[in-house]
Amino acid sequence: MDSSFDRGLSLERGALWKYRANGERLSLSCNEGSVWLTREGDSVDHILSPGQSLQVEGHGQVVVQALQPARLSLAGSEAPATKGPGGGGGSSGVGRYFQSRSTQYGLAIGLLLYLAYAGGHGAWGNPTLMLMAVFIGFFLPHYSKLSNKIEEKLQFRTAMVTPGRLGRLAAQLLFNLGIFSGMLYGGVIAPEKIAFLGGVFWISLLTTAASQGIQYIALGLASRDIGEKNRNVIVGLSMNVVVTAIATLGFPWARTLFYAVGLFFGGLVFGLGLLSDLRARLAPRKGVAVFFGTFNPFHNTHLEIIRRVLAERKVSRVYLHTTVVPKLHAEALRKGEIVIARREAGMRVYSKTSKADVHMNYFPTGNCFYEFETRRELIELALAEAGLGDKVQVLSFPEEYERRGFYGVLDKVRKLHPNEPIHGIHGSDLGGMWVRNIYDECGWIYPYPVQRIDRVSATAIRKGARGMAPGIVEQILEHLRQGAREFQLQGMTYRVEEGVLVHVRQ
């Protein structure tokens, strides 16, 4: 059955687009900019300039890299396996499920658990152990999403990290209680071996505490570009499974190791959380503040938060820096899991590809993003309109951000104020609590949490809602929605170049 397609593709300079052809005909036409194209089995590389096209047929991978910001038209007999925020596409549901790294890691943990307990207790043919291994393998990715939701809801209501971590602990503790109760009553582990470690509850609590701490460290390392997030987590959890399994064998040294691992990692994650929450309560009333986020776009709540921190913490200055390309999206773009599908109203609109992980939420705050330069310009204009330009400085370190994220920006601020307290502003929403984790890992930031209970929505603003953003921001966004290439506002001229808002200074 022929399912033809015709769609556009936008690429930033240096961005890659990959597609594995499976016999279909694919025509690529360059409308703007220039791209370099190579394909498997073709000894000649191709450069496409505006007006040039190339036909791709057969099998193998096609790689396109933008030499300049480029727009392509794709046409063929079968659409590349991509899908939008709510759509399907690509390989079958079952195939994509098993291609998911989360599924594969879950199955690996289930297999490891079976091998560890079957080998240690001679339970190779035990049906309870087999069922548990299969259940864990398939349920683990879903459990991970569930525990994340519990943590997010508790943090949203409190703007603190400890309640959320206790919620995750409770969810995993119930899960592990079921697992070890099943092992006991299913004959996998002898009752005396369970009693040797203090009973089902104590085993479950310690292995849960260790798991929480290990995952915290694994994610913290990944955020600093030490290892990959999922890989770090799977290595840590695998070690915890093995240590727990060895402890059930009844060796005194193994019990000591099991207790030490559980108490150390559990104490670490909850101790750091409690210290962070205390720093938020006992913060000094002086110093400077940092405010990080996507600001997509900057709105009235951001202004109110800045006014509050200036008044309540008595800081002399607020440093604000927006994300460039959020790390989640940068990694997914690099792996070909998402693409920039099109540009719309001054925003880049992302969509998933067939490589996307079915368990991954790539767009927790939406799939539409204004460019970094546009968001920075809107912030500066809004601050000036609000009379806060002398108290708030908008930083711009895109290279440092791309290299080290907000950790690098924090180092810049620390060098500017080496002997002053630094306060970290964040909301209780998902993006705000991600930023809070960065503050916590630094150890010397005084969090300034703000519970998000207002009805201001950046998503609604992007869709055209009024009354939620500063006047200057709403006026510019309206021009972008109308597709204006150049316009004047309050005596200033603005131009939209390659989707970026540019202030034309006379």
pLDDT recorded at residue 476: 95
DSSP string, 171-230: HHHHHHHHHHHHHHHTTSS-HHHHHHTT-HHHHHHHHHHHHHHHHHHHHHHHHTTSS-HH
Q: What is the 3-state secondary structure (H, E, C) of 68-79?
A: CCEEEEEEECEC
Distance CA 429, CA 406 (A): 18
Please work out, in degrees rounded to the nearest 5, the angle formed at the alpha carbon of residue 234 by the alpha carbons of 230 and 237: 135
pLDDT recorded at residue 3: 40
What pTM, to 2 d.p., does this model score?
0.77
pLDDT recorded at residue 461: 94
* Closest C-alpha among 277, 17, 314, 41 to residue 163: 277
pLDDT recorded at residue 87: 40
Hey, what domains does the chain have and what are their CATH numbers? 5-80 (2.60.120.10), 96-278 (no CATH), 283-325+368-504 (3.40.50.620)
pLDDT recorded at residue 377: 94
Q: In the numeric block, which tokens belong to residue 46?
A: 């191709």
Residue type, 153: K
Residue type, 48: L
The dihedral through the CA atoms of 210, 212, 213, 216 has a sign that is positive
Question: Are 379 and 298 within 8 A, CB to CB?
Answer: yes
DSSP string, 225-264: TSS-HHHHHHHHHHHHHHHHHHHTTT-HHHHHHHHHHHHH
Evaluate the omega torsion of the peptide bond into residue 297 and state whether it is cis, within 30 degrees of 0: yes
Question: Are 345 and 480 within 8 A, CB to CB?
Answer: yes
DSSP string, 326-376: -HHHHHHHHHTSEEEEEEETTEEEEEEETTS-TT--S-TT-SEEE-HHHHH
Using DSSP's 3-state secondary structure scheme, residue 1 falls into coil
pLDDT recorded at residue 11: 84
For residue 203, which phi and psi values (nearest 5 degrees)?
A: -60, -50
Per-residue confidence of the chain (506 residues) as pLDDT tens digits? 334 445 678 888 878 887 766 555 678 888 888 888 887 767 677 888 888 888 777 667 788 888 888 888 887 644 344 433 334 444 456 777 788 888 888 899 999 999 999 999 999 999 999 999 999 988 888 888 888 899 999 999 999 999 999 999 999 999 999 999 999 999 999 999 999 999 999 999 999 999 999 988 988 888 777 877 778 888 888 999 999 999 999 999 999 999 999 999 999 999 999 999 999 999 999 999 999 999 999 999 999 999 999 999 999 999 999 999 888 888 888 888 888 888 888 898 888 888 888 888 888 888 999 999 999 999 999 999 999 999 999 999 988 888 888 999 999 999 999 999 999 999 998 888 989 988 988 878 999 999 877 788 898 999 899 999 999 999 999 999 988 889 998 888 998 887 788 888 65
CA 340 to chain centre: 17
